[in-house]
Amino acid sequence: MMKTDKYFLLITEQLKTAQSNEQVAIIISHAIADIEKQGGADLIRPFLTKLQDWLEKRSPLDYDSTQWSCLRYASIYLQDFLIMNLV
């Protein structure tokens, strides 16, 4: 299993249980730091792209309002991160 797959599964489960936007930001930023430390910066973009795709496929019918809010925030957070790191 690739390192990004390991982190992907871990992060998706953590995001599902996040209770605030602050928790979402911490989960994602720690994942990025861990990937960079363990696998290198070249794995970050594929990981974030996969996570973004996963978030976009979620349905609000499958989550309570807090979970859905956190997942939507995660999507926005990732979009902002990707845009800011295009340079």
Model confidence pLDDT, tens digit, residues 65-80: 999 999 999 999 999 9
**How confident is the model over 32-70, as pLDDT tens digits?**
888 888 877 787 888 888 999 999 999 999 999 999 999
Residue 40: left if φ>0, alpha if ψ -120 to 50, beta else—which one?
left
pLDDT of residue 70: 97
Which is more confident, 15 or 5?
15
Q: What is the pTM of this model?
A: 0.86
Residue that wins the pLDDT comparison between 60 and 4: 60
CB–CB of 60/68 below 8 Å? Answer: yes
Over residues 17-46, the mean pLDDT reads 88
